[in-house]
Structures are given as C-alpha cells and as structure tokens.
C-alpha cells in the first residue's frame, strides 16, 4: 500500500527530481546545488526537531511521488514560547494518486506545532490549505515598491524582456541623466539618512539580542540565536548566489539601536528586503535610512513584503503597493494568535517564512 513517512536523507535525489518537474521555471540551479540545498535546509537546521519532520509520499510500487517540507521556527506570543513551523515545497507528481498533496498537508497539520506559517504559496497550494481549515492573511500577501532610478529600471525591464542590446546600451546614458534630474525633486527624489542618525554593519549577535526591545509592543515576534541566523542567511544566499546581502544597523543620536534592515541587491538592478524593523518612535528615520542605503548601493528599485506598522511612512515616500506573487497562509488553533497576525500586529519578516 502507498504510505506517508518522514523524509530521509536517502530520499533527496528523488525529491530533487520531483522538484525539477513541479517547479520547471526554477531552472537556474544545477542538480548538485539542489541536492546541497535540500540537505542543508532539512537536515542541518540548528532547530531541527524529530517531532516535526518533513514528509514524503511513496506509492504502492515504492516510487516517491509527493513531498512537503517542514522548517521548525521559534516565536513568542505575549512572552510565552510558541512552537511554530513553516511548511514549504508541497509537491505531487503527475502520476500520483488523487489527493496526495492534500494528504501530505493534512499529515503536517496533525503535528504538535501551535502555528503553521507559509509565505510563498501559489494558488493551488492556497486552495488546498483553505480547504483544510487554513487562512489566507491578506496583509502579508501584499508588497511595497519604491523606484529609486525609475528610468534605468525601465531600461533593465526592457532588456530582460528581449529588447535589443544596441537599443538598451543607447538608452543607458539617457537614463542616467534622466534619473539624476528626477532625483532632485518629486516622488523619486534622492533619500538621505536623517540628521542625528547613523548607519553601520549589523552584527548577528546584536540582531538576536535586541530584537525583543525593538518589537516590545508586538504581541507576536520571532526568537533568534546567532547560530540559526547564520544558517538561515547562508541558505538565503545559496538560493540567490548572484545577489549581495547587506545587513545594516541604524543608530540614533544617543547611539542606541533605532532599527535595522537586511536586503539582497544586484548592482544596477533591484533590491529585496528580508527584514525591516524599527523602534516605535523611529519608523520614519529607519525607512529613510533604508532607501538611502539601497540607493547608494546602486539599486534601481527596492521592494519588500508589506510591514503593516510602516504603511504611513511608506505612503508618504511614494511607495507603490500591490499583491505579492505568492500568498501568506496561517493555521493555528489559538484565536488570539490568528487575530494578531490577521490584524498585522505580529512581527513576521521573510526570515520567518520559507527562506
């Protein structure tokens, strides 16, 4: 008979084959890179928990035809620890019997966790999740964008969609001049670090130790240690090796941490924010520092998942808002936790998701 059992290291080659089929657009990584990725993500996690394994489905012929990944996370809600997981990479082969994906997700939902969180679900995954009692969190399914060099960004967009190289090279100098003019005023004016604030590199030790102070007003927030942060950021870097990761700390005039931000960027391209956190009285200063830092790094546009506490600051700086490419999903039996997340009062960054 077919069965669902915990994911084992020996299953990795078969899961990579399944991944190749399920995510055909992700063709930029070699088999060796994917083998390493699945090993590091699911078997080298410093917070691995035998009670919270990933799962595979094996048909009655012994063929692995389904997978769902589980990543244990640590959160706190009103001061008490919350056992949480992120569900990721739900896959079923085209030859699998009906409802394999639903059965895998149902098995995960039956686990001992108090909260399941997934932030890059597609439409099919969302339908399965909601049918099994999960909720789509609309606030965290939105993203913000802020053009920094809009003309050069438009030229890059044309190049990525097949515009002739001779045309984009000709437009390059024109774009630089146009962006310089636009940066002097209007919605894309050049941002700057506010007076009295400074920006420096962010040590992971400080990130782990000081996060509770900066989000003290939030009922729900993550709990970190330096070893886990090093691991998860190395996974993120492995996923997009061509990008540069910047970790930046913002200090106020008294040299106290006012907040920080982490983002990936490609010089001359886009920047994607992984985490943005600020003390309640320093939202505007930290967001301005982010925009200035990203622009100085050479990015043409910066974006990130919506941070509900900073909507006013983002709107005032002419950010654009739209639905993200993926859905954020939650399942918990605690109505207080669910209400906190749905209202945008929890602190959940990309580090709490499927990176």
Is the pLDDT reported for residue 138 higher than 90? yes
In the chain, pLDDT over 70 holds for what percent of residues? Answer: 86
- Which residue ranges make up each domain of the chain? 3-113, 143-324
Measured CA to CA, the distance from residue 343 to residue 10 in angstroms comes to 42
Q: What is the dihedral of CA 167, 169, 170, 175, to 10 degrees?
A: 110
CATH homologous superfamily, domain 3-113? Gcn5-related N-acetyltransferase (GNAT) (3.40.630.30)
State the SS3 of the chain: CCEEEECCHHHHHHHHHHHHHHCCCCCCCCHHHHHHHHHHHHHCCCCCCCCCCCEEEECCCCCEEEEEEEEEEEEEECCEEEEEEEEEEEEECCCCCCCHHHHHHHHHHCCCCCEEEEEEECHHHHHHHHHCCCEECCHHHEEEEEECCHHHHHHHHHHHCCCCHHHHHHHHHHHHHHHHHHCCCCCCCCCCCCCCCEEEECCHHHHHHHHHHHCCCCCEEECCCHHHHHHHHHHHHHHCCCCEEEEEEEECCCCCEEEEEEEEECCCCEEEEEEEEECHHHHHHHHHHHHHHHHHHCCCEEEEECCHHHHHHHHHCCCEEEECCCEEEEEECCHHHHHHHHCCCCCCCHHHCCC
Contact 70, 52 (CB under 8 A): yes
Tell me, what's the pLDDT at 127?
94
Instruction: Identify the pLDDT of residue 90.
Output: 94
**How large is the average pLDDT for residues 201-224?**
96
Answer whether 118's CB lies under 8 Å from 328's CB: yes
Pick the CATH number of 143-324 from 3.40.630.30, 3.30.70.920, 3.30.450.20, 3.40.50.2300: 3.40.630.30
CA 245 to chain CA centroid, nearest Å: 13
What does residue 64 show for φ and ψ, rounded to 5 degrees? -75, 120
pLDDT, tens digit, for every residue of 38-94? Answer: 999 999 999 999 999 999 999 999 999 999 999 999 999 999 999 999 999 999 999
pLDDT of the residue at 177? 47
Distances (CA, A) of 258 to 77, 83, 129, 198, 352: 23, 29, 38, 10, 21
Q: pLDDT for 81-133, tens place per residue?
A: 999 999 999 999 999 988 999 999 999 999 999 999 999 899 989 999 999 99
**Token pair for 125:** 């995954």
pTM, two decimal places? 0.87
* Whole-number Å distance between alpha carbons of 272 and 165: 26
In the predicted structure, residue 313 carries a pLDDT above the cut 80 = yes
Lowest mean pLDDT: which of 94-98, 141-145, 186-190, 277-281? 186-190
**How far from 269 is each of 150, 151, 217, 243, 325, CA to CA, in Å?**
11, 12, 35, 10, 19
**Are 211 and 221 a contacting pair, CB within 8 Å?**
yes
3-113 with 143-324: one CATH topology? yes
């Amino acid at each position: 008979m077919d069965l669902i059992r915990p994911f084992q290291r020996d299953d990795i080659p078969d899961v990579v084959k399944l991944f190749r089929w399920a995510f055909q657009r992700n063709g930029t990584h070699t088999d060796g890179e994917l083998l390493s990725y699945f090993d590091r993500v699911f078997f080298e996690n410093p917070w691995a928990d035998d009670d919270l394994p990933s799962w595979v489905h094996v048909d009655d012929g012994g063929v692995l035809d389904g997978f769902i990944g589980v990543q244990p996370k640590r959160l706190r809600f009103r001061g008490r620890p919350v056992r949480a997981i992120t569900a990721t990479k739900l896959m079923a082969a085209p030859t699998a019997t009906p409802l394999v994906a639903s059965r895998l997700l149902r098995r995960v939902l039956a686990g001992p966790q108090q909260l399941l969180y997934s932030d890059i679900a597609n439409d099919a995954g969302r339908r399965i999740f909601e049918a099994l009692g999960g909720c789509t969190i609309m606030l965290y399914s939105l993203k913000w964008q802020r053009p920094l060099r809009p003309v050069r960004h438009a030229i890059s967009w044309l190049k990525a969609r097949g515009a002739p190289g001779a045309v984009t090279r000709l437009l390059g100098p024109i774009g630089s001049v146009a962006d310089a003019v636009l940066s002097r005023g209007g919605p894309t004016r050049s941002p700057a670090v506010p007076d009295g604030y400074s920006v420096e590199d962010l040590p992971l030790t400080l990130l782990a130790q000081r996060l509770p102070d900066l989000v003290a007003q939030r009922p729900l927030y993550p709990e970190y240690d330096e070893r886990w942060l090093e691991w998860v950021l190395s996974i993120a870097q492995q996923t997009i090796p061509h990008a540069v990761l910047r970790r930046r700390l913002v200090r106020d005039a008294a040299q106290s941490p006012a907040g920080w931000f982490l983002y990936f960027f490609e010089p001359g391209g886009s920047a994607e924010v992984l985490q943005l956190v600020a003390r309640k009285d320093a939202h505007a200063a930290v967001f301005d520092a982010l925009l200035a830092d990203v622009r100085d790094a050479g990015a043409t546009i910066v974006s990130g998942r919506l941070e509900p506490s900073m909507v006013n600051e983002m709107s005032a700086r002419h950010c654009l808002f739209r639905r993200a490419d993926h859905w954020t999903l939650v399942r918990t039996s605690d109505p207080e936790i669910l209400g906190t997340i749905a209202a945008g009062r929890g602190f959940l960054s990309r580090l709490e998701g499927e990176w």
